[in-house]
């Protein structure tokens, strides 16, 4: 495992952890739970340590990624600058969380503390999301600014459906023409069977003579 593997393995911790921490703070504020509030602060303290570890592994990952084809030096530097700002912000928040936990061991915390912690936590959350986006642009060209997005016409599905129906009709056309060609042959065959022959005419004349004798 090299530095790039280690960086990719750890960089999700402060990003996703910050999201979970903000959700726990919101839940603690809604339920007015002091235990949940303390757990949220402890989580942010751990996330601050994780953010520092992720940032320190970024230099080794940078040396490897710069040699890859298609890697942009400017994007790597932009990600590094964003990571430094986000790490400092989360580090300060983690220190404040430790101080709050220490003070809370000796006296009750004011009610507004949970609200303030929730509002301020949005800052490291936004910075971590910004840093993650900058890091994703290094290897994912589809999310880089100015990259044209692949679009599809809103009528493409309808056109495909009409084409499929038209293709089915064209394939079924020979079947219809074959059946229509067979039907006249059947009718001709029936007419040939029903057409009177010379013997039929003789039998018809004999019958009429018999009926005339009976009448006389």
Tens of pLDDT, residues 21-70? 999 999 999 999 999 999 999 999 999 999 999 998 887 776 667 666 76
Give the pLDDT confidence score for residue 177 in this predicted structure: 46
Give the pLDDT confidence score for residue 156 in this predicted structure: 46
Give the pLDDT confidence score for residue 198 in this predicted structure: 54
Taken in order 69, 73, 79, 80, is the CA torsion positive or negative? positive
Closest residue by Cα to residue 86 from 142, 130, 122, 121: 130
In a domain, 145, yes or no: no
Provide the domain count of the chain.
1
Determine the Cα–Cα distance for residues 90 and 123; give it in Å rounded to an integer.
8
Closest residue by Cα to residue 7 from 63, 45, 72: 63
In a domain, 161, yes or no: no
Give 171-180 pLDDT, tens digit per residue. 544 444 444 4
In a domain, 29, yes or no: yes
In a domain, 156, yes or no: no
- The burial of 47, by beta-carbon neighbours within 10 Å (0-12 exposed, 13-18 middle, 19 or more buried), is given as buried
Residues 6+ apart with CB under 8 A from 80: 58, 62
At residue 120, does pLDDT exceed 50? yes
In a domain, 57, yes or no: yes
Cα angle, residue 75 at apex, residues 5 and 56 outer, rounded to 5° = 40
Average pLDDT over residues 86-103: 96
Give residue 111's pLDDT band: very low, low, confident or very high (50, 70, 90).
confident
In a domain, 203, yes or no: no
In a domain, 200, yes or no: no
Residue 109 domain boundaries: 3-139
In a domain, 204, yes or no: no
- The burial of 127, by beta-carbon neighbours within 10 Å (0-12 exposed, 13-18 middle, 19 or more buried), is given as buried
């Amino acid at each position: 495992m090299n530095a790039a593997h280690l960086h990719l393995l750890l960089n999700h911790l402060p990003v996703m952890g910050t999201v979970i921490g903000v959700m726990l703070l919101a839940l603690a504020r809604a339920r007015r739970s002091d235990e949940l509030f303390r757990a949220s602060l402890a989580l942010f303290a751990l996330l601050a340590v994780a953010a520092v570890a992720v940032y320190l592994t970024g230099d080794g990952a940078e040396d490897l990624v710069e040699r890859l084809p298609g890697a942009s030096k400017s994007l790597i530097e932009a990600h590094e600058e964003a990571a430094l700002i986000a790490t400092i912000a989360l580090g300060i928040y983690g220190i404040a969380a430790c101080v709050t936990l220490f003070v809370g061991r000796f006296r009750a915390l004011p009610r507004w503390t949970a609200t303030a912690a929730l509002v301020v936590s949005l800052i490291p959350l936004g910075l971590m999301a910004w840093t993650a986006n900058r890091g994703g642009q290094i290897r994912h060209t589809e999310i880089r600014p100015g990259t044209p997005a692949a679009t599809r016409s809103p009528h493409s599905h309808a056109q495909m459906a009409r084409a499929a129906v038209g293709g089915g009709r064209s394939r079924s056309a020979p079947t219809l023409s074959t059946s229509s060609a067979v039907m006249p042959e059947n009718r001709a065959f029936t007419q040939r069977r029903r057409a009177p022959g010379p013997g039929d005419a003789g039998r018809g004349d004999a019958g009429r003579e018999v009926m005339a004798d009976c009448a006389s």
